Structure 1
Amino acid sequence: MMKFLIQATVFNKELFGKAVFVEGHDVDGDKWNEFYLVNRVEAECLVLVDISGRRRSLHIENFEGNDGMKLTVLTKGDKN
């Protein structure tokens, strides 16, 4: 299982090109419940592309705390 955070404050660069499922509410209160492709990985931000080609940015503060968002990295053989 790949860790999506290398440290508590930095995204793992190995997420680039991976399919992910993001769920929960971000710090702005927007609901996320969708599959994405990781288009770019920065230390504190992921740039994601949805199935329609729309880009969304997801910042690391959305994952902090017990009620933060959840990100699942999909691997070959996953049946979601």
Structure 2
Amino acid sequence: MMLYTYTVMLVIGIASIISGLYINMAKEIFFGISAPVFVGFATVYFMIKYSNYSATNLNKMLMSGFAIKFIFYGLYIIIIFTV
């Protein structure tokens, strides 16, 4: 979880630099990066939570998480291009 947190801090820093260069697109940059960051935090949280159980439960969580992310990102991209 700590490595993911540091990576997110790095990505937010890079997004801040880029949004400073393109001031008119700052909202789009941060909204575009926020959903993958939150989904990543949720994935890491549930992986840590289910890693204490059996490998079967972890595998079921990973499969259901992949299906949920598949649907979420599909809707996210549709919303981005239609709004």
TM-score normalized by structure 1? 0.22
More strand as a share of residues: 1
Structure index of larger Rg: 2
More helix as a share of residues: 2
TM-score normalized by structure 2? 0.21
